[in-house]
Chains A and B, each alone.
Chain A
Amino acid sequence: MDSALTSPPRKAASTKIVIAGGFGVGKTTLVGSVSEIQPLRTEALVTNESEGVDNLDAVPSKATTTVAMDFGRLTLGEDLILYLFGTPGQRRFWFMWDDLCHGAIGAIVIVDTARLDESFSPLDYFEAKGLPFIVAVNQFEGIEQYTLDQVKAALALPPEVPIISIDARDRDSAKSALIRVTEYALEHLTRNLAGAS
């Protein structure tokens, strides 16, 4: 019980990866296929005088509203729990993302090649925040319409950003995306260490 007090550099007991992407792109499906619990939903109360929101036109006139976030959990050992947080999709709730991304290992941006335009905002957001992210193309119905290189070019991704193809319904596929983003976060961090920080 007192071990937390006697060992000064306390090891993190939990961490998180953020799952982003447009509405219906497979965020909750991915969370559900690897989570050891049924994805849970939590809500945050939000007032309309939210900071950092540039487009208030679309906000309804009521004083408060709720933002729902779906999340799952993976126990990675005695001393480590990984949480996966799906981002609230609506653009006006983006200030919530700061809270979600704070302390995260990295992010997976899931894209649907039929609706690539929905991916630009999350990509810009993570790039601006400096949070390592990868792009995962969710293969609906197993039909690959475009090559990953084509998608990468269409999204104008920086060359170092990994892009993979996944089936969000498949546990191993979802897991491979989590491994890839974690590896990339490590590369990102060690590369920064070498350079000026």
Chain B
Amino acid sequence: MEATLRVDPADDGSTVSAAALQVLEVCDRRSVAECAALVKMPIGVVRVLLSDLVEHGYIRVQATITENSSKDERIELIERTLRGLRTY
């Protein structure tokens, strides 16, 4: 939901649907939730469109913390967040 996307210029040239194109236009450096709000589509629909775009190489998903993340990764992220918040 909070995972952010980056548009990758190296797409495979395949065409995408009009709905996916709408998502593609707004998704760079934004999260899945933001994309859904901006294109006014339910988040589940946007997830499907985004996964199609990933599959065709148009975008990639940036890292977030998952169940597989190590404690070191979690601590690194929380410390980085804390530093960021203190100067925000």
Contacts and interface: CB of A to CB of B under 8 A. Distances in A.
Given A73-B34, A103-B66, A186 B78 contact: yes
B49 to A, nearest CB: 14
B62 A42 contact: no
How many of chain B's residues touch chain A, expressed as a range? 35 or more
A11 interface: yes
Given A4-B60, A76-B85, A105 B71 contact: no
Contact of B64 (A12, A71, A99): A12
Contact of B81 (A40, A82, A197): A82
Interface in B1-51: 1-4, 8-10, 29, 31, 33-34, 36-38, 42-45
Given A99-B1, A186-B75, A13 B64 contact: yes
Contacts of A76: 80-81, 83-85, 88
Interface string A54-82: 00000000000010010101101100111
Most buried by B among A14, A16, A81, A178: A14
Contact of B1 (A45, A82, A85): A85
Contact of B4 (A13, A105, A193): A13
Nearest to A171: B88
Contacts, number: 130
Contacts of B71: 189, 192-193, 197
B33 A40 contact: yes
A74 B37 contact: no
Nearest to B1: A99
The A contact surface, by secondary structure, is: mixed
Interface in A103-161: 103, 105
A196 interface: no
B55 interface: no
A81 B43 contact: no
A10 B3 CA distance: 13
Contacts of B73: 9, 12
A4 B62 contact: yes
A149 B10 CA distance: 58
Interface of B: 1-4, 8-10, 29, 31, 33-34, 36-38, 42-45, 60, 62-67, 69, 71, 73-86, 88
